[in-house]
């Protein structure tokens, strides 16, 4: 959000809607008023302007500040507290002088404010309070918008799962337990949301804070005190609930759980190194890529050597809609699996840049995959529903404005879980459809880098397609508000999830 910082000269105070000074004003300078309230206003009185208005000013500048939480680049930003926006001020003078002159403030509009005669200090404090209350009202409206988006997503997912459970017997052709997918979804969501009220304050006490890139949008500097590594509590809960409901003997769920925790371990190491270095650089890109390839390759060989339940007589098959049907990839299936692990892990990681963006879109992708794999492996459908519930429970703490971030621990784990579901069933095509947001975010980074390097070689100066990559940062810098971007991503992901689930059902 743009900074609400203004500089007003004394000559502007006579404009309609502001204040009128009916008599000369005497101010002792240099005087500086600082507000603890989150709204910003600079009032500068320059000597020539003051003389024209018959004011007496000893030095050249009087500064008055009130700050909004959306303001950035403020040197004492860390001193803010998450207060209620009440205004306060500190008066300081280099000569320890105080102004005993008075200012008369006449409201121009038809307010109920009476005409009062107050001192200069009280006038500035009153102005501070009024602007602070305006900023506080806007913050409440923005927070309500974040809650509305999250509630809408939860309602959509719950209704969709109830509908799938209602007609699941037609899909699987076998009787399933009541609330087969809704039950793990709700259990994970409730457990994660409750765990968040314990783990989030603990992460804050341990000062496990998010490291904000200097290259990112300036407004993101306000998030630098937000705890991170939220994946530590919502990923294990989602995996555990799936294992418990599907049964600890389920081979597919066990393999998907190991792959998920393996990617979570990579993200955990990256987050720890980032916090230790106090810089946004944990594991190097190549080391992280090699570790992801190692986990994906290991999962591929596990598929070759393990008997997994499948309606087909052989493995390494890729189900596609008619008229294509089943495609046998052979050894290429292993390469596709490794590529899927790497691309999905990094896709979710790149998407995790706005409050609630990665968590909500991942929940939709998990539900789509649960529907797609239901005819092939019903246990994996439980795993997907449980992970979706974990994302939703985490979203209650990660919604706009976020109280915690998932970090690489959570984002890489979600990507690994989605890839594992596709690799066990061959549902790669529905996966890439349901993960359309992740694909767009990763593609925007690739396009930006390639175009910049190509133009730098050809013309000696790099050019950019987007203002900033990934795509959500480009939209931010284009003037679109963060909740609007997230809401739009949810709508697009919802449509893609429905289509992906349909493609998966007709392919199976």
141-177 pLDDT, tens per residue? 557 888 899 999 999 999 999 999 998 887 777 778 8
User: What interhelical angle do 378-398 and 357-373 show, nearest 10?
Assistant: 170
Say if residue 126's pLDDT is above 90.
Answer: no
SS (H, E, C) 67-121: CCCCCCCCCCHHHCCCCCCCCCEEEEECCCCCCCCEEEECCCCCCCCCCEEEEHH
Tokens of 253: 């769920």
**Chain-centroid distance, C-alpha 301:** 35
**Stretch 91-102: mean pLDDT:** 37
pLDDT of residue 12: 41
Q: Which of 305-314, 366-375, 463-472 has the lowest mean pLDDT?
A: 305-314
**Stretch 182-210: mean pLDDT:** 93
pLDDT digits (tens, 9 = 90+) for 46-89: 444 444 444 444 444 444 344 444 433 333 333 333 333 333 33
Is the pTM higher than 0.75? The answer reads no
Say if residue 264's pLDDT is above 50.
Answer: yes
Q: What is the CA radius of gyration of the chain?
A: 28
Nearest one of 237, 225, 245, 277 to 261, comparing CA atoms = 237
Q: State whether residue 88 is helix, strand or coil.
A: coil
Nearest one of 351, 331, 354, 333 to 343, comparing CA atoms = 351
pLDDT of residue 412: 96
pLDDT of residue 501: 94
pLDDT of residue 119: 54
Out of 26-40, 219-233, 446-460, give the one with best mean pLDDT: 446-460
Say if residue 456's pLDDT is above 50.
Answer: yes
pLDDT digits (tens, 9 = 90+) for 235-250: 999 999 999 999 888 8
**Stretch 411-417: mean pLDDT:** 96
DSSP 213: P
> Which of 85 and 331 is assigned the larger pLDDT?
331
């Amino acid at each position: 959000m743009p900074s609400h910082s203004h500089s007003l000269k004394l000559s502007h105070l006579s404009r309609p809607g502001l204040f009128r000074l009916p008599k000369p004003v005497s101010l002792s300078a240099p005087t500086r008023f600082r507000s603890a309230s989150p709204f910003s206003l600079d009032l500068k009185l320059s000597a020539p302007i003051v003389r024209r208005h018959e004011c007496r000013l000893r030095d050249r500048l009087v500064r008055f500040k009130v700050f909004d939480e959306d303001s950035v680049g403020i040197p004492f930003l860390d001193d803010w507290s998450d207060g209620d926006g009440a205004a306060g001020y500190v008066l300081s003078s280099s000569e320890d002088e105080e102004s005993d002159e008075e200012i008369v403030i006449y409201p121009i509009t038809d307010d109920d404010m009476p005409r009062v005669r107050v001192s200069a200090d009280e006038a500035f404090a009153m102005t501070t309070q009024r602007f602070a209350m305006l900023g506080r009202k806007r913050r409440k409206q923005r927070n309500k918008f974040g809650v509305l988006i999250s509630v809408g997503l939860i309602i959509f997912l719950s209704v969709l799962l109830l509908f799938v459970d209602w007609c699941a017997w037609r899909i699987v052709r076998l009787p399933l337990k009541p609330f087969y997918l809704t039950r793990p979804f709700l259990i994970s969501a409730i457990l994660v949301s409750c765990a968040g009220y314990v783990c989030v304050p603990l992460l804050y006490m341990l000062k496990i804070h998010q490291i904000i890139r200097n290259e990112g949008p300036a407004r993101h500097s306000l998030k630098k005190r937000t705890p991170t590594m939220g994946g530590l509590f919502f990923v294990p809960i989602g995996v555990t609930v799936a294992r418990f409901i599907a049964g600890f003997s389920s081979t597919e769920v066990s393999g998907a759980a190991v792959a998920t925790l393996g990617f979570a371990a990579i993200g955990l190491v990256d987050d720890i190194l980032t916090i230790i270095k106090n810089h946004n650089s944990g594991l190097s890109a190549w080391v992280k890529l090699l570790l992801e390839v190692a986990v994906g390759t290991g999962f591929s060989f596990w598929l070759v050597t393990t008997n997994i339940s499948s309606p087909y007589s052989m493995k390494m098959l890729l189900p596609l809609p008619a008229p294509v049907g089943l495609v046998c990839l052979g050894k290429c299936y292993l390469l596709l699996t490794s590529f899927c692990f790497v691309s999905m892990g990094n896709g979710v990681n790149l998407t995790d840049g706005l409050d609630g963006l990665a968590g909500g879109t991942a929940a939709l992708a998990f539900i789509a995959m649960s529907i797609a794999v239901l005819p092939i492996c019903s246990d994996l459908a439980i795993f997907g529903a449980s992970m979706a519930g974990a994302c939703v429970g985490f979203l209650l703490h990660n919604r706009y404005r976020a109280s915690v971030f998932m970090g690489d621990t959570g984002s890489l784990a979600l990507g690994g879980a989605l890839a594992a579901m596709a690799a066990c069933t061959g549902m790669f095509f529905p996966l890439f459809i349901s993960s359309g947001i992740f694909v767009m975010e990763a593609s925007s980074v690739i396009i930006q880098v390639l175009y910049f390097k190509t133009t730098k070689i050809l013309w000696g100066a790099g050019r950019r397609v987007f203002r900033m990559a990934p795509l959500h940062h480009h939209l931010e810098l284009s003037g679109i508000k963060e909740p609007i971007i997230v809401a739009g991503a949810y709508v697009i992901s919802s449509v893609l999830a429905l289509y992906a689930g349909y493609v998966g059902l007709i392919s199976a």
